[in-house]
């Protein structure tokens, strides 16, 4: 593939890939680093692109795999976050309850099907618009809205059941 085509693909898709990764990672610096790695991997494996989807969808698939590799690497080298050691005025009971609620929400999100979970992460963590989510995933804006709404309903139902127990 010639340099002009590669440049054009990068210009047209880099922002979408970055926003996608920003939504997954919640970290602008890491998202930028993974975006660059995504395009590096895409150039190396461009012959694997079959053309049966938008190139942005293919690139986001590569990006997602790189993010999962990063998560795997981080889980092997996990350390205690610094903010866990800083004293706070918040009571231990409230802190514990908030943490349990967060854990339960993430557990419920983890139990969603892959595509719904991805939409939820992009909307909540990435703060992306439904049109941006639709563009990244190669779907319509209405589909993104409905998928998010259904995921939110499942999480709310799960949280209600959790609080009743």
Burial of 91 (0-12, 13-18, 19+ CB in 10 A): exposed
**CATH level 3 topology of 92-165:** Arc Repressor Mutant, subunit A (1.10.10)
- Asked whether this chain's domains 1-79 and 92-165 adopt the same fold, the reply is no
Phi-psi group of 26: left, alpha or beta (phi > 0 → left; psi -120 to 50 → alpha; rest → beta): left
Rounded Cα–Cα distance for residues 125 and 118 (Å): 10
d(CA 154, CA 165): 17
* For the chain, domain boundaries: 1-79, 92-165
Q: How far apart are CA 34 and CA 55, in angstroms?
A: 17
Query: How confident is the model over 13-62, as pLDDT tens digits?
Result: 888 889 888 888 888 888 899 999 998 888 888 888 887 888 888 888 89
Q: What is the pTM of this model?
A: 0.54
DSSP 81: -
| Domain at 1-79, CATH from 1.10.1740.10, 3.40.718.10, 3.40.47.10, 2.70.98.60 | 1.10.1740.10
């Amino acid at each position: 593939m010639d340099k002009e085509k590669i440049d054009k693909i990068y210009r047209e898709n880099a922002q979408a890939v970055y926003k996608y990764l920003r939504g997954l990672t919640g970290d602008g610096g890491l998202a930028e680093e993974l975006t660059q790695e995504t395009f590096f991997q895409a150039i190396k494996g461009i012959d694997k692109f079959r053309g049966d989807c938008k190139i942005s969808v293919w690139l986001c698939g590569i990006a997602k795999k790189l993010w999962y590799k990063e998560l795997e690497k981080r889980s092997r080298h996990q350390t205690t976050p610094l903010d866990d050691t800083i004293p706070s005025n918040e009571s231990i009971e409230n802190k514990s309850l908030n943490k349990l609620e967060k854990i339960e929400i993430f557990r419920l999100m983890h139990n969603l099907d892959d595509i719904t979970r991805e939409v939820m992460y992009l909307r909540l963590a990435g703060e992306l618009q439904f049109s941006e989510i639709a563009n990244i995933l190669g779907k319509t804006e209405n589909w993104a809205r409905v998928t998010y709404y259904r995921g939110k309903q499942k999480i709310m139902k799960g949280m209600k059941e959790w609080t009743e127990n």
